[in-house]
Structure 1
């Protein structure tokens, strides 16, 4: 590649260069680095442009002398289906010696893969070793990426798919039945009571998962809401769980479920016991016993996107000289 060239990776390129095992490893190291203070990132900024229309920017640097850049995305509701939101945009990457832009990559595909990879990292760190039943709540794009990622960290024997529209849950099952032990769940409460690991992956405005449904020893990944407003789980579940965030600063600013529970006086800031990076580093224990309910709040961070884009760029460079 000539020095003047800018590598551009579309969605197909991202899928070819960022496999799930690699992304899990990349995100694991990125979250450790975040908690060590080695990375730099600002809280995401959002420009709201009317109902269902948001432009977000997420700048960061992998280290003082590492790759740096930003993710810029539009989060727009689908015109014919306001309950479905697409994350379209780009991740831009600069090299750290001369400050040249070297990479532009499709942000929607990176977001799909790295979000599920982050969930897998948290599940590996916080779920019981003997977890065998997985419940995925949601039928959008993230259910498919999570079906790729989560079986890489636990040997699930049953995977339950629940959606607010049962027909869509059945479509997910049909798409995956030849690869994984998937089955449709019609009753969310009953499915939650059977699950060892639960992931909420929806754009729900109100809770779809309640603390009263969740059994001791369950691990919950709260993924769908990425800003103040929409909540996927109720205050009782927040209170009952050992609550771990991807970033404390971001959770205090934008973790909707935590902020609602805090505003109600149910929990305080100390209820966020750790960042996932601190758990991975062994600084703070994650799960302390087999009966504890653990929860991981995923907001997603620039360093995850930048580390993923850096992996894509470096893999491409290595393959092409």
Structure 2
């Protein structure tokens, strides 16, 4: 069995490879060829949670599980909010083949899934990126989206102006793209081609009236059945595309609230992203469309990222133990 620590994940799992893996995995999922069980969460004290999810990438392919703790307050101390492990099993004999740091894997695969969706849904000439948040997911989303669009200008917003300014300076230096802190969210997203929400907000902070026609939105932040980073107007204006229909109906607060009051039906989910990748459903239908990818995360994404990591690191000298 091989053990991949956080450093191993960051060293070997490239955004480009992970983006391709996300496309393939979500096609497999939407075609019903990647069985999984609904993820479960155990409520802990102080708003923290412990989650478990299990699945397979299909007959004869890897299967496994993810065990993860969700401690949102960690971000205030510079620690990841998601901590845990992903376990991969060999499909030939059922043996445990790999244990992988889930914090690093989740950071890269979540951003890569958004980048894959952005590549399919955003306009080819998209050049301006707005990111809400300045944590780890904000940085990984910037790096992943730079792999699919030639971004020329980045704007970031966060609740603490000083931290936001430091983050913008670091991103500009690391990515060689101008990155500007915005005084408020409306200014951050004004006329932006691509917007990513990566905050822990449980009430709307992004409003549809601020979003220009032709924009693409990745809604990535806190998932909760009664929580919402975006308002009802943005849900109604956008072509709403899910990673998983079932996940949206169970966990996407901004969608569920409109469903409960009868404003929309399940049909407002125009497609799963895997259906867009395979050509079974349309993503952007005209230039003025606002497209929205709702990222809730799925075990097939973790397994696909994990398998890609193992393949990329196959020649590396990593820790191993015999069970």
TM range (shorter): over 0.9
State the shift of 1:193 in Å.
2.0
State the shift of 1:94 in Å.
0.2
Tell me whether 1:290 sits opposite 2:274 in the alignment: no
* Matched residue, 1:3: none
TM-score scaled by structure 2? 0.94
**Match for residue 194 of structure 1 among 191, 198, 216:** 191
* Matched residue, 1:252: 249
Deviates more, 1:169-178 or 1:267-276: 169-178
Q: Is the 8 A contact 1:225 1:256 kept in 2?
A: no
Deviates more, 1:123-132 or 1:256-265: 256-265
* Matched residue, 2:203: 206
Tell me whether 1:163 sits opposite 2:158 in the alignment: yes
Inter-partner Cα distance in structure 2 for 1:82 and 1:52: 16
**Match for residue 141 of structure 1 among 136, 142, 147:** 136
Query: What are the ranges of 5 or more consecutive residues in structure 1 without an aligned counterpart?
Result: 1-5
Inter-partner Cα distance in structure 2 for 1:215 and 1:13: 40
* Matched residue, 1:95: 90
The count of residues paired between Structure 1 and Structure 2 equals: 316
Backbone CA RMSD of aligned residues: 1.8
Tell me whether 1:268 sits opposite 2:265 in the alignment: yes
Query: 1:190 is paired with a residue of what secondary structure?
Result: helix
**Match for residue 122 of structure 2 among 122, 127, 138:** 127
TM-score scaled by structure 1? 0.94
Check 1:219–1:188 CA distance in 2 against 1; reply closer, same or farther (3 A cut): same
* Matched residue, 1:308: 305
Query: 1:103 is paired with a residue of what secondary structure?
Result: strand
Query: 2:68 is paired with a residue of what secondary structure?
Result: strand
**Match for residue 219 of structure 2 among 199, 222, 244:** 222
State the shift of 1:75 in Å.
0.5
- Kindly report which structure 2 residues correspond to 1:28-67, keeping only aligned pairs within 5 A, or say none: 28-67=23-62
Check 1:83–1:104 CA distance in 2 against 1; reply closer, same or farther (3 A cut): closer
State the shift of 1:265 in Å.
2.5
**Match for residue 4 of structure 2 among 9, 13, 27:** 9
* Matched residue, 1:243: 240
Query: What are the ranges of 5 or more consecutive residues in structure 2 without an aligned counterpart?
Result: 319-323
Check 1:286–1:76 CA distance in 2 against 1; reply closer, same or farther (3 A cut): same
Check 1:145–1:37 CA distance in 2 against 1; reply closer, same or farther (3 A cut): same
Tell me whether 1:23 sits opposite 2:18 in the alignment: yes
Inter-partner Cα distance in structure 2 for 1:299 and 1:80: 19
Check 1:79–1:191 CA distance in 2 against 1; reply closer, same or farther (3 A cut): closer
